[in-house]
Amino acid sequence: VSLWELALRPLRDRLVEGSLSAEETARAFLERIARMDSELGAFLATFADSAIVRARFLDGLPRDERGPLHGVPIAVKDIISVEGTRTTAGSRILEGYVAPYNATAIERLDAAGAVILGKTNCDEFAMGSSTENSAFQITRNPWRLDRVPGGSSGGSAAAVAAGLSPAALGTDTGGSIRQPAALCGVVGLKPTYGRVSRYGLVAFASSFDQIGPLTRTAEDAALLLESLAGADSRDSTCSTLPVPRYTEEIGRDVRPLRIGVPRDVLGEGIDGSVLLSFEKTAEEFERLGVGTEEVSLPASKHAIACYYLLVTAEASSNLARFDGVRYGLRTKASGLHDLHDLHKMMSATREKGFGREVKRRILLGTFVLSAGYYDAYYEKAQKVRSLVARDFARAFERVDAVLLPTTPEPAFPIGAKSEDPLSMYLGDVFTTTANLAGLPAVSFPAGFDPEGLPIGVQLLGRHFEEGTILRLAHAFQQATDHHRKRPERAS
């Protein structure tokens, strides 16, 4: 078995016991990125030199000082700050910006012994579902190069699917970890809102954003979450609840658990092979001794409208900080002599620095927050958000997890939706509810369509019960092979 074929857990075990060095591991993945990524475009930057230096340091550590992620290479979505390196968030407006500090998630990975390979491509400010909104490059799906990898964490998903990294960090505001994970045939975990610190994450919609792992297996997601999760005084929304031993929880018996199946949300426009994989997954859980029952999520049909009104409002406020004054791009306009000219500089900078989708969302957010529309749109959406959460709370009185498709269709062709924002938004039909309600959700491979494109399903759990949904996904992966299949070009 080649190094790149190993999941994170077995790789980590070899690194800790010393049968494999961190340096040869880092070199193997860096070499593979150099050889394969020109075709995929998953990475915006690689840290060849610093990764080797770091790996050598780790190789020198005695066994009892080796962390839970000792020597494991990890790729990081380029919206998470890594000190001393460019952090672009996929945007021209952060041109020249070098992060002056590490995100808490990066500090945690460092402390656990991980080696950061590089930064992965994403939609600008994580706004998109195809990674086509990156200002720098498109990323291709390793399963079929004419397809999108999903987004916004498309670079991270493509990197893991192609074996360019055993794991990656992504961020999920309305599905940006789970949707690309589904489209690329890997596992993607969005933790409970507040489980992982957002310090050092470039903010899109602060009451929705969460950092989480993309991996090959649920077990690997559990291993990474154990290191990433936990209180942080620099993020006041980060929970102080103790972090469970997820890697132990996933091994427990799944038979006492029950799964809710909300068939009322499976309306029209869902691909036949997605529905088939979904039903087969429910049957597989029955075989594993997990009871399933119908649950109802009536407010979910309003989730997309609700989500896009709220996140654009938060984004219009968050993105006000990019004004050409403190960091990033500044457009030089001539003859600046008064306050009017200061505003002209800011407007010109933002006009040049932001892409079309970001402008669209800033305008929509400014609209829904403006006097006269606030009640009808913004506050109304906040109330519907309460109803979405209430549906899940009701379901979780009877079941421990809710099963949903991750996406209505497998990976779509590059360019198919980039000119039609609404059709792109509608693809988020199954993912935004977890963010609206702050719930943890894990997407995992559940089958393939007739063309061989991967299909994902997701399990949503109660707040802070990542251990339960990971346990179910782990049991499913022990019993099935979908996650073991690799794209041909990766072999």
Q: How many helices (H) and strands (E) does the chain have?
A: 16, 11
CB of residue 20 to another protein, shortest distance in Å: 37
- Of 77, 119, 190, 417, which is the active-site residue? 77
Q: Which segment (24-32, 226-234, 263-271, 279-287) binds another protein by CB under 8 A?
A: 226-234
CB of residue 367 to another protein, shortest distance in Å: 6
Pair of tokens at residue 302: 């309003």
d(CA 213, CA 221): 6
**Where do we find the tokens 């802070």?**
464
Residue closer to another protein, measured from CB, 255 or 356: 356
Residue closer to another protein, measured from CB, 187 or 346: 346
Q: Is the dihedral of CA 143, 8, 211, 30 positive or negative?
A: negative
Binding characters for another protein, 178-207, by CB under 8 A (x = yes): --------------xxx------------x
Residue closer to another protein, measured from CB, 89 or 329: 329
CB of residue 146 to another protein, shortest distance in Å: 26
**Does residue 336 touch another protein according to CB under 8 A?**
yes
Number of residues that bind another protein (CB under 8 A): 84
Indicate if 423 belongs to the active site: no
Binding characters for another protein, 80-109, by CB under 8 A (x = yes): -----------------xx-xx--------
d(CA 453, CA 438): 30
Please select the residue that binds another protein; options are 34, 111, 145, 363, rule is CB under 8 A. Answer: 363
DSSP 411: P
Pair of tokens at residue 419: 């000119």
Residue closer to another protein, measured from CB, 156 or 435: 435
Query: Which residues, numbered 289-308, are part of the site for another protein (CB under 8 A)?
Result: 299, 301-302, 304-306, 308
- Within 13 Å of residue 102, how many CA atoms lie on the same side as its CB? 10
Binding characters for another protein, 416-455, by CB under 8 A (x = yes): -----xx--x---------xxxxx----------------
Query: Which residues, numbered 337-356, are part of the site for another protein (CB under 8 A)?
Result: 337-339, 341-348, 350-351, 354, 356
Q: Which segment (11-19, 29-37, 116-124, 332-340) binds another protein by CB under 8 A?
A: 332-340
**Where do we find the tokens 């936990």?**
230
- How deeply is 367 buried, as exposed, middle or buried, from its count of CB atoms within 10 A (0-12, 13-18, 19+)? middle
Residue closer to another protein, measured from CB, 75 or 469: 469
Residue type, 426: L
Give residues with Cβ within 8 angstroms of 227, minimum separation 6.
Answer: 67, 68, 69, 108, 109, 111, 112, 114
- Of 81, 134, 152, 227, which is the active-site residue? 152
By the 8 A CB rule, do 190 and 430 touch?
Answer: no
- Of 176, 239, 277, 443, which is the active-site residue? 176
Please select the residue that binds another protein; options are 145, 267, 370, 451, rule is CB under 8 A. Answer: 370
What residues are paired with 404 via a beta bridge?
Answer: 458
Please select the residue that binds another protein; options are 236, 450, 481, 491, rule is CB under 8 A. Answer: 236
DSSP 196: B
Please select the residue that binds another protein; options are 113, 150, 328, 454, rule is CB under 8 A. Answer: 328
DSSP 376: I
Residue closer to another protein, measured from CB, 177 or 436: 436
Give residues with Cβ within 8 angstroms of 412, minimum separation 6.
Answer: 130, 147, 148, 427
Q: Which segment (21-29, 164-172, 280-288, 358-366) binds another protein by CB under 8 A?
A: 358-366
Spell out the alpha helix ranges (H) of 5-129.
Answer: 8-17, 22-40, 48-59, 104-112
Indicate if 239 belongs to the active site: no
Q: Which segment (41-49, 151-159, 247-255, 329-337) binds another protein by CB under 8 A?
A: 329-337
**Where do we find the tokens 């990524």?**
37
Percentages helix, strand, coil for the chain, rounded to the nearest 5?
45, 15, 40
Indicate if 176 belongs to the active site: yes
- Name the residue among 290, 37, 70, 225 with its Cα closest to residue 142: 37
What length is written for the chain? 491
Active-site residues, by number, are 77, 152, 176
